[in-house]
Structure 1
Amino acid sequence: MSDFAERLTLDRRQLLGLGGATATAIALGINAPESAAAAPPPRSGDLFGLGIASGAPRPDGVVLWARLAPEPLAEDGHGGMPLRPVSVRWQVARDHQFRQVVRSGQALAQPELAHSVHPRVEGLEPGTEYFYRFLVGPQSSPVGRFRTLPAAGDSPASFSFGLVSCQAWYHGHFTAHKHLAAEEELDLVVFVGDYIYEYGIMEANLWRQGASVSPAHAVEIETLEQYRLRYSLIKSDPHLQAVHARVPAVVVWDDHEVQNNYVGSSSAYNVPDELFAHRIAVAYRAFYENMPLDIEALPEGPAAQITTGFDVGRLARFSMLDTRQYRDPEPATAAEQFAEGRTMLGAAQEEWIERRLVSSPAVWNLMASGVVVTAISDDRTDMWDGYPAARQRLLESMARSSNPVVLTGDIHKHVAAELKQDFADPSSPTVGVELVCTSIASDGDGAQTDGFTRDWTRHDYVHHYDGRRGYVHVRLTPQEMVSNFWIVPWIEADDTAPKKLSARFTTPAGQPRLVQD
């Protein structure tokens, strides 16, 4: 558990505020005794149609995830499952054939949590490759893989991860995920927001050729059942499933997991706060149900804790930031925008990230942020540009740390930028770098340059811009960080596009700059 999460109660005897999910139900979805009551599994259908996943990596284990759904697109949000619990067994082995099973257990997939399970595996060896699977009756899931993190104090020779965001399924095929899953070196995938989109899917925005959806998808999602159905649609993609099966995933959200441009507890579209609180609550609950998250991320009504972090030995420290739930409203005036007291992260999260940066023993300090930190334009108030005083406090903390790197998505463009200690003074020192990944599918095929290119590239500290779809692959060593910005030329027509290198940058350790290869 992160120190930021310690203030949260884990007394789950209380209801979640949405009905039915008690502490007992939650506990049984993580670890259930052999004697736990369960119904027989459905007799037909692939129970693992939404794939499997791992997350919350640690030196001694991970959290595993599965959600049973023989009919993933059933419109009641239950995936074709009966409204009763089903026993799910899990195994972790040293080998792909499961001849050397080292850990096993059982969890109950229950209707209260959309028949998802989140077993926490412990007692494994650090820095070691393992394989896992789930078993329900005679059915076996696909086999997944993960590598535990290095032991504290170890210095691994390298660590590689993929950076992805913005998965508007209806705008195109997940070709980028197909290529990411095939990367030769890959230890982790970092999702930095907009895992789903809440918009209704209609003929006008269904650009993924060959795809169709039922009328139930044509409305903006608002209910728990609708959020569950939308996750099912996204997670039914085989390329996304392949990425999740390949390596552990860590996730932060941005806005579309709830509603476009929502801030804190308020809607950007004038939904009354008391009604919007229910929408946030069901959206956060569906997020937990569909992600490989630890217990700390389980929401309590319209509040949830996704701020967390982990260390890759002494090589890297990752900090996962929530830039949506605690921020002040977007400014109404320039005076308000530049007010010293405004915050993007909230006071507690600001203090938490400052401590992690300043005290870190790691060579590299990486922060996953839902929105862009780099200064681009004062009218981009949904990004950190709308919170310049808060950004300055973050930059000052970064200046006191070792090799800080911000990982971002949101804007559907590849951007590589150097972060200035004072963006108002172009000659001020560079304190870190920001890697912004483009979308997986949002905005369709895109183009290398577009109407926003000049807004970004007019700044000397912005070193790259590309509006096509893709992902970023990052390799860390004690000596350098190598960032590969990969794109695919098209995604709307099909998933056959090759990947192409848009740009490659090297950042030497101790030198916060981007050197283009």
Structure 2
Amino acid sequence: MLARRRARRRRPGRPLPALLAAGLLTAAALAGAAARGDMPILLAAGEVTDTSAIIWARGVEPGDLAVDVRSLAGRPAASAVIRGTTASDLAGQARVDGLTPATRHRYTVRGGGRGAEGKFTTAPRPSDPAPVRLLWGADLGSRGHCRPSDGEYAIVRAMAARKPDLLVLAGDTVYADHHCHALPPDAPGAMPATTLDQFHAKHRHNRAGPAVQQLLRATPVLATWDDHEVRNNFAGEHGLAAVGRRAFLDYWPVAALPSLVRSARWGRLLELFLIDTRSHRDRACRPDGPGKSMLGAAQRRWLVDAVADSGARGKAIVSSVPLSIPKAWPCGESWAPTRVLFLETGFSRERDLILAELARRRTRNVVVLAGDVHFAAITTLRPAPGLVVHELIAGPLAAATERPRAPDARLAPVVRFSRGGLANFGEVEIDEEGLTVRILDAGGRALATERFRADEALSDRSRAP
């Protein structure tokens, strides 16, 4: 299976003074615009493949935004038009195709007499065993932790300094249901959202922060939602779910619109599977059993088939809630069970069905990237004969912290690291030999490092295009 060993690895990059200078210049420009009340064009690139990307932008007025994509050497690569309307809060996205694999690209977006620039790297070809570094995290901007109008999220600056290939956000990208005490009560984004304009304002406030823009202008992103994009612990039938979902999709580059369920391939070594744990879930207080579902039957079948049949060596399931950690009381909100007297809630029956099927199909090198529980953990699970899953939990990025809780004993967990009480994010590096995971604090200092060697059982399949 996957053997563990400690490892430290230095990755070459640009000299630190150059990195700091570039970051400070970007931050200064964005902060200056914000201080003047002059909202700049907001950018993000996401859903990158080896030959395409989604460019997202929010303009300064209704109308078209012209997108120009070039190689760093200046060779034209693609162009597109993004149409921002008042209904979408001036935001929109466009797909660009025909790009060169494993190549750094520069893109500019112009409209309303202004312009902005970002960069992204395309994924390697599916047959290319290129290494990859990704960051993941969740839970940004809860009450008492949201940024003031002239401030930023310092932890995001530390994330940008890691220069990842890819950023994965595992939910709670905003706290739409919280009052942001750092803002005046009448400021956009200050109060809990109930209308589309108010949900948009929550996203706009988080995304306009200088540090967030620095990170998103340099790093392609994959984002999914969790409960606080709508209301705490909501299930699919909530009355504000549709408007919260609309605002999320307006503000993040998502290739599978209107679905949030999709996969993303990064060369031969990694495929990510983003699931939607909110839209189809049954009420939390319903007793757990064969008829209770978090994903719905169609999404559950897709997940099992996509992971088991993947040609990538590493398979990373992005779940906004953990497999092993119980959450909420008296009714369980996560995959793990919550027991109160004779009542068991949660979604462990469905979780165990998924894991049993992955084991039956001899799936190897599976990790789960999660957040939501507001502490960090690295845990090895052995839920079924022949199946090993490494569950990697990071966060919060900027929210109240919690103490670590014990994982579900039915998954035969081995806790490698667990710590609460501080903001944190995670980093995963994958190469041909295996996976290195780090948990880092708000200043970018490593709190834990674990190394897992790749199982060679599927090495032939991992070479498939």
Q: TM-score of the superposition, structure 1-length normalised?
A: 0.73
1:107 shift after superposition: 2.9
Give the aligned partner of residue 66 of structure 2. 89
Give the aligned partner of residue 465 of structure 1. 418
Give the aligned partner of residue 178 of structure 1. 157
How do residues 156-235 of structure 1 correspond to structure 2 at under 5 angstroms?
156=130, 158-168=131-141, 170-172=143-145, 174-184=153-163, 186-201=164-179, 206=181, 212=184, 214=186, 217-235=189-207
How do residues 359-438 of structure 1 correspond to structure 2 at under 5 angstroms?
359-374=309-324, 376=326, 381-385=332-336, 386-399=346-359, 400-422=362-384, 431-438=388-395
**469 and 359 in structure 1: CA distance in 2 versus 1, 3 angstrom threshold:** same
One of 278, 283, 303 as aligned partner of 1:329:
283
In 1: Cα distance, 2:358 partner to 2:50 partner: 26
1:264 shift after superposition: 1.4
Per-residue CA deviations over 1:410-442 (Å, capped at 9, x if unaligned) read 0111111112225xxxxx665211100111101
CA contact (8 A) 2:358 2:387 kept: no
CA contact (8 A) 2:89 2:197 kept: no
1:106 shift after superposition: 2.6
Equivalent AA in structure 1 for residue 419 of structure 2: D
Per-residue CA deviations over 1:488-510 (Å, capped at 9, x if unaligned) read 2xxxxxxxxx3321111111101
In 2: Cα distance, 1:469 partner to 1:432 partner: 25
Give the aligned partner of residue 263 of structure 2. 309
**159 and 200 in structure 1: CA distance in 2 versus 1, 3 angstrom threshold:** closer
In 2: Cα distance, 1:502 partner to 1:154 partner: 31
Give the aligned partner of residue 88 of structure 2. 113
Per-residue CA deviations over 1:324-365 (Å, capped at 9, x if unaligned) read 111222244xxx32x223222111011101111221111100
In 1: Cα distance, 2:307 partner to 2:405 partner: 33
CA contact (8 A) 2:129 2:431 kept: no
**324 and 101 in structure 1: CA distance in 2 versus 1, 3 angstrom threshold:** same
Identity over aligned residues, as a percent? Answer: 24
Aligned CA RMSD, in angstroms, stands at 2.5
**113 and 453 in structure 1: CA distance in 2 versus 1, 3 angstrom threshold:** closer
Give the aligned partner of residue 299 of structure 2. 349
Give the aligned partner of residue 10 of structure 1. none
Moved more, 59-68 or 106-115: 106-115
CA contact (8 A) 1:362 1:402 kept: no
Matched, 1:505 2:450: yes
**218 and 134 in structure 1: CA distance in 2 versus 1, 3 angstrom threshold:** closer
Give the aligned partner of residue 24 of structure 1. none
Give the aligned partner of residue 124 of structure 2. 150
CA contact (8 A) 2:436 2:450 kept: yes
Equivalent AA in structure 2 for residue 414 of structure 1: A
In 1: Cα distance, 2:228 partner to 2:37 partner: 31
**56 and 111 in structure 1: CA distance in 2 versus 1, 3 angstrom threshold:** same
In 2: Cα distance, 1:410 partner to 1:380 partner: 16
Q: What SS does structure 2 have at the residue aligned with 1:310?
A: strand
One of 282, 285, 300 as aligned partner of 2:243:
282
Equivalent AA in structure 1 for residue 157 of structure 2: K
In 1: Cα distance, 2:307 partner to 2:430 partner: 18
Q: What SS does structure 2 have at the residue aligned with 1:160?
A: strand
1:199 shift after superposition: 2.8
CA contact (8 A) 2:170 2:223 kept: yes
1:246 shift after superposition: 1.2
**408 and 511 in structure 1: CA distance in 2 versus 1, 3 angstrom threshold:** farther
Equivalent AA in structure 2 for residue 240 of structure 1: V
**292 and 460 in structure 1: CA distance in 2 versus 1, 3 angstrom threshold:** closer
Equivalent AA in structure 2 for residue 48 of structure 1: P
CA contact (8 A) 1:357 1:397 kept: no
Q: What SS does structure 2 have at the residue aligned with 1:58?
A: coil
Matched, 1:441 2:390: no
Per-residue CA deviations over 1:345-396 (Å, capped at 9, x if unaligned) read 1110111011112211111001100101015589661000211111111212
In 2: Cα distance, 1:114 partner to 1:330 partner: 33
Aligned length: 401
In 2: Cα distance, 1:461 partner to 1:376 partner: 16
In 2: Cα distance, 1:216 partner to 1:247 partner: 27
Q: TM-score of the superposition, structure 2-length normalised?
A: 0.80
1:453 shift after superposition: 3.2
One of 212, 223, 240 as aligned partner of 1:240:
212
CA contact (8 A) 1:487 1:502 kept: yes
In 2: Cα distance, 1:379 partner to 1:396 partner: 27
- Structure 1 alignment gaps of length 5 or more: 1-43, 70-80, 267-275, 299-304, 423-427, 489-497, 513-517
**137 and 388 in structure 1: CA distance in 2 versus 1, 3 angstrom threshold:** closer
1:215 shift after superposition: 5.4
